[in-house]
Amino acid sequence: MPNLEHPAYPADALLQLESLVPCRESQVSLLLSIFGERQQFSFPSIFIYGHTSSGKTYVMQTLLNTLQLPHVFVNCVEYFTSRLLLEEILFQLQSCSSEAEQTSHVPCDNFNDFVRLFKQAVASQELQDQTLYIVLDRAEQLREMEANILPVFLRLQELTDRNVTVVLLSEIVWELFRPNTGCFEPFTLYFPDYSIGHLQKILSQNHPPEYSADFYAAYINILLGVFYMVCRDLRELQHLAALNFSKYCEPVVRGEANERDTRKLWKNIEPHLKKAMQTVYLREISSSQWERLQRDDGEPGQLKGLSAHTHVELPYYSKFLLIAAYLASYNPVRTDKRFFLKHHGKVRKTNFMKKHEKTSNHLLGPKPFPLDRLLAILYSIVDKRVSPTANIFSQITSLVTLQLLSIVGHNDQLDGPRYKCTVSLDFIRAIAR
């Protein structure tokens, strides 16, 4: 295990840091060596990428906090325009050293202002002797802002002529960022996914104080055995571990088993966890409902998940409209005549339909159809005479807003809008019942 060693920082802080970031020692030591000592100029921009929840944000935060480096931490999703982003950076910069001073709002519209204000801020805070770190989390959002923002952040050190390092955190690789005008290449650093051993270690670290570490580690072992196949997201696993732990402890609390009796505990928890995988993990039922369920020890069958309520109540003609739309989407035009003109008996019609659906039309997806065809099919499948009232037309648009149909093509065309049916066969079956 590479111990963190760096001459510039006190040993106890490093030790604390090491305990806080398990399984990321090599990355941290690399970062530290890039950062150098406080007053040294560092690399102008660093790009860190890795899969979801591989600890990028966490490592950066703990690193900067424990070593008490001056830094600004901004989430690019939250500050969705460049203006908001820049203002937020300046705001944090102002408040980062002097809390007492009432910081006023500084309008900052473009990068020119930003560089000027940035220099002022740094000068007023006496930060010249230290490297300032600007961390931009979820940096992939930067690509959607103005075109100049990414290149400028990458060479901020050069532009401002101050000791500053920009750190970009992202889930995607640098190649997807590179603007076509070319820019300064940052130093890229990859955070690999945690392995199962790493996950085990990290999860077991924060065990509840009333139980021993070994006991919790055994629990985590079981949990990972169930969930590792479907989920490697550390945050999700933490969430699941917290939710199901009380159930695991139940036999111990009741005195039926002691903490060493892992086999018994395993038997107790395993079906429970499997159930959890089907429900909580998919967010079929919310975690608070799950907790209540555990407390009551009731049957989960009583609680219907989100997907259980698939039935949709629709008005009479809307149903027919939707069915007509479905038929129009999946049947080719040339069969219309055969289906809807010759046979008026309903039985024959359905037979034909079923035969047809077996062919590969369903694999091709819905096809667009014009409004007239939809109405023609509607008239033929409804037994009674339907008058084309405004209500029918407004129902079509309301089906579009419900996302059961979708408009294809340009909106501005008044004549002959084309639609697509976006619901599945099962849904239509449920409606046509």
Partner 1 sequence: QHIQEDLNTQLFDNLVSFLRRSHSECQEKTTEWTCRMKSREIPAAALILGVNVMDHDLTLKSLSEVLQDNITPYIALLEAKDCPGIKNLMQKLMGQLMNCHIDVDSLEDEDYVQVSQNRIRCSMTSLVNWYKSVTKKTDSETPSKKRASSPRHGQSPPVVVIFKDMESFTTKVLQDFIVISSQHIHELPLVLIFGIATSPMVIHSLLPHSVSSLLCIELFQSLSCKEHLSTIIDKVLLTAQFPFKLGEKVLQVLINIFLYHDFSVQNFIKGFQLCIVEHFYSQPLSVLCCQLVEAKKRANSLSHDQCENIRRLPSFRRYVESQVSEKQVALLTADSVVKEVTQQLLEDLHVYHENYVSVLRCLHVFTSSLPKYPLGKQIRELHCACLENQVWETEEYDSSLQLARMLNKSDLVTMLQQCVEILVSSSGKEFDKTVEKLKEFLTQFQKLEAEAFQEQDVSISSQKELRKKTDLYHLQKTLLELKESRRSKKLTKFEMLRFEVVDYIDSLVRSYLVPADHKTLHEILYFNTASVLRAHLNAAPRTALHTALNNPYCYLKNQALKPDGGSISNKAPDICIVYKLHLECGRLINLVDWLEAFSTVVMAVEGPHADAASSDQVDDIIHARFIRAVSELELLGFIKPSKQKTDHVARLTWGGC
d(CA 247, CA 344) in angstroms, rounded, equals 61
Q: How far is the CB of 223 from partner 1 (least distance, A)?
A: 17
User: Tokens representing 356?
Assistant: 């047809």
For residue 169, the minimal CB distance to partner 1 (Å) is 14
Coil/strand/helix, residue 9: coil
Task: CB nearer to partner 1: give 221 or 289.
Answer: 289
* CB 122 to partner 1: min, Å: 22
- Residue with Cβ nearer partner 1 (17 or 374): 374
Largest Cα span, the chain: 90
Binding status of residue 311 toward partner 1 by CB under 8 A:
yes
Which residues does 322 contact at the CB level (< 8 Å), separation at least 6?
A: 314, 399, 404, 405, 421, 423, 428, 431
String of contacts with partner 1 for each residue 363-382, x by CB under 8 A: ---------x--x---x---
Q: Please say whether the beta carbons of 156 and 44 come within 8 A.
A: yes
Contact criterion met (CB below 8 Å) for 56 and 188: no
**From candidates 115, 189, 312, 408, binder to partner 1 by CB under 8 A:** 312
CB 389 within 8 A of CB 334: no
Q: How far is the CB of 314 from partner 1 (least distance, A)?
A: 6
How far apart are alpha carbons 356 and 353 in whole angstroms? Answer: 5
Q: Residues 201-240 vs partner 1: string with x where CB under 8 A?
A: -----------------------------------x--x-
Least spacing, CB of residue 59 vs partner 1, in Å: 18
What is the size of the binding site for partner 1 (CB under 8 A)?
52
Q: Write the binding mask 51 to 80 for partner 1: x where contact by CB under 8 A, - elsewhere.
A: -x----------------------x-xxxx
Which of 126, 354, 390, 411 touches partner 1 by CB under 8 A? 390
Q: What are the residue ranges of helices labelled H in 48-195?
A: 56-66, 82-97, 111-124, 149-154, 156-160
Query: Site mask, partner 1, residues 236-275, x = CB under 8 A?
Result: x--x--x---------------------------------
For residue 388, state whether it binds partner 1 (rule: CB under 8 A): yes
CB of 77 to partner 1, least distance (A): 5
Residue 316 binding partner 1, by CB under 8 A: yes
Q: Which of residues 394-413 bind partner 1 (CB under 8 A)?
A: 394-395, 398, 401-404
Q: State in angstroms the smallest separation of the CB of 307 from partner 1.
A: 6
Are 55 and 234 within 8 A, CB to CB? yes
Measured between alpha carbons, how far is 76 from 82 in angstroms, rounded to an integer? 9
How far is 122 from 126, CA to CA, in rounded Å?
A: 6
Torsion angle, alpha carbons of 147, 153, 159, 162, to 10: 170
Choice from 183, 314, 353, 407 touching partner 1 (CB under 8 A): 314
Whichever of 15 and 308 has its CB closer to partner 1, that residue is 308
String of DSSP letters for 130-163: S-EEEEEESGGGGGGS-TTHHHHHHTHHHHHTSS
Angle at CA 220, nearest 5°, toward 257 and 24? 150
Q: Which listed range, 11-19, 331-339, 355-363, 386-394, lies at the site for partner 1 (CB under 8 A)?
A: 386-394
Residues that bind partner 1 (CB under 8 A): 52, 75, 77-81, 84, 87-88, 105, 236, 239, 242, 283, 286-289, 304, 306-307, 309-318, 372, 375, 379, 387-395, 398, 401-404, 414-416
